[in-house]
Structures are given as structure tokens and as C-alpha cells.
């Protein structure tokens, strides 16, 4: 540990545009919300947003939930796959 005022090594990396990464992180968080809070039911989430959602949730989360609902019509096992991915991810990083 360095003391205040002592020189320390700093690692510098090139700038990475965060917007694509931010979208990926936001979508992962949305999947987590859908699975953990609404038991994988996009209708429950949509109703919640319509009743109690903030402007940001209506603008960002509602289209995601509606698109996922539409996708589930052709891929009914998608939620099971998303659940599995979340479980695998959470057990991978658990200490």
C-alpha cells in the first residue's frame, strides 16, 4: 500500500467506447430483473411498468419486455435458456 503523496504505478488502457457495452450490461440486467423479480413472465413486468414504471423504465425496459414477449411466441423455451445462463453465470463468479 502506498502512503499519500508517494508515487504509484498506474496502468493505462486505450479508450473503449462504452455505449455498446452499456447496452449489453443493461440487457443482462433486464434479463436478471425479468427472471428474478417477475419469474420470467414478461406480462407481469409489462403490467408493472405500465402501472408503476418511471419514464426511463417506460422508455427503455418496456420495449425490451415487449420484444421478449413477442420472441417467446416463436421460442417458448427461451426463458428456460435465460434462466440456465443466469444460474451458470452466478455460480461461476460466486466465491
pTM to 2 decimals? Answer: 0.71
10-55 confidence digits (pLDDT tens):
677 676 655 555 888 889 899 999 999 999 999 999 999 999 999 9
Sign of the alpha-carbon dihedral angle for 87, 37, 71, 54 = negative
pLDDT at 15 (0 to 100): 61
50-83 confidence digits (pLDDT tens):
999 999 899 999 999 999 999 999 999 999 999 9
Amino acid at each position: 500500500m502506498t502512503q499519500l503523496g508517494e508515487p504509484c504505478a498506474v496502468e493505462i488502457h486505450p479508450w473503449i467506447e462504452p455505449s455498446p457495452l452499456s447496452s449489453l450490461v443493461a440487457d443482462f440486467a433486464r434479463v436478471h430483473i425479468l427472471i428474478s423479480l417477475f419469474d420470467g413472465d414478461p406480462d407481469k413486468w409489462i403490467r408493472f411498468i405500465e402501472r408503476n414504471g418511471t419514464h426511463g423504465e417506460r422508455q427503455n425496459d418496456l420495449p425490451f419486455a415487449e420484444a421478449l414477449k413477442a420472441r417467446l411466441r416463436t421460442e417458448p423455451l427461451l426463458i428456460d435458456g435465460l434462466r440456465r445462463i443466469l444460474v451458470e453465470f452466478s455460480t461461476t463468479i460466486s466465491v
